[in-house]
Amino acid sequence: MKKKLVVLGSINVDHIIHLKTLPKPGETLMGEEYLLAYGGKGANQAVAAGRFNANVSFLGAVGQDTIGQEILKQFIKDGIDTQWIKMVETKNTGVAMIFVDEQAENVIAIYPGANTEVDEQYIESCRSVLESANYLLMQLEIPLDAIIKAASVAKQNHAKVILNPAPARYLPPALLSNIDIITPNETEAFVLTGVEVIDETSAAAASSVLHEYGIETVLITLGSRGVWQSVNKIGRLVPAFKVKAIDTIAAGDTFNGVFVTELLNDKTPEQAIITAHAAAALTVMRKGAQPAIPWKYEIEQFLN
């Protein structure tokens, strides 16, 4: 039987404006292009996994609004099991406002809406699917209590727990000690460890701090430079593919979703990183979050 992935996380609808430069405080600028796209780190990572043919169930919440319904329909097209998703009466589906400049830099503000209703009680109601998981993949756009509880349920049932600690925030050691694989970018690694990641030596130092919590595998994503992979304190740089980036939204999400799916497919972490780099390279060449996430055949074509 195919191994099972559970993704626990956020669902948002993204309003994206592309501009020449990002607006400064007090400034109003005219955009060049507007895109409405489905996003949210949790949703993006599940979509990346689903399009790569993972056996994936999603845990999270939407509002009882039209956009929430449309997002769930798209999830089904992307191969994601939606039966556990909570429909929240009192709040709307999460919203993200995103500005992207010509250098592909972005600034994001989020109104989490229904995502704030993903609580411990909800996780308890999803216990049976969590107990059936081989891998649990999470990020930090939903309440921390739910993340801590899900990690503990998954761990008790011998699932591997992967945390993409984004957006950056302090995390309690009780959560970190239940994590098998952590995938911060440079900013997130700094917040978690106090080490500024600027080169291989500092990447190794930041990884060491995370290993001290009992985390076996640390992957620090370094944008166009690739990823620092550290397993039990032995580290190496795995370069990214050289492509022309136009919008890096969902690069890290695609990386995480495809990386974990390759582990589900019994690939080695080294092989999984190469496939995830290829998928993320395709994502940065396209605009938006979920519209940019590639399908399996596209990743295979890119690698051939």
Q: Which residues bind ligand ADP (CB under 6 A)?
A: 166, 185, 221-224, 226-227, 240-241, 243, 245, 248, 251-252, 255, 277, 280-281, 284
Burial class of residue 57, CB neighbours in 10 A (0-12, 13-18, 19+): buried
Q: Please say whether the beta carbons of 84 and 57 come within 8 A.
A: yes
A 10 A CB-CB count for 239 gives: 11
Which residues, 6+ apart, have CB-to-CB distance to 12 below 8 Å? 38, 39, 40, 43, 93, 94, 95, 96, 110, 112, 115, 141
Burial class of residue 164, CB neighbours in 10 A (0-12, 13-18, 19+): buried
d(CA 184, CA 162): 11
Write the DSSP assignment of 100-157 as a string of letters: E-TTS-EEEEEE-GGGGG--HHHHHHTHHHHHT-SEEEE-SSS-HHHHHHHHHHHHHT
At residue 208, φ and ψ (nearest 5 deg) are -55, -45
Tokens 């921390």 belong to residue: 144
Amino acid identity, position 234: I
Q: Please say whether the beta carbons of 223 and 187 come within 8 A.
A: no
Q: Which of 243, 242, 296 has the alpha carbon at shortest distance from 265?
A: 296
Annotation says 253 is catalytic: yes
Which residues, 6+ apart, have CB-to-CB distance to 22 below 8 Å? 99, 101, 105, 106, 107
Q: Which of 144, 158, 112, 108 has the alpha carbon at shortest distance from 8?
A: 144
14, 81, 180, 253: the catalytic one is: 253
Which residues carry out catalysis?
253
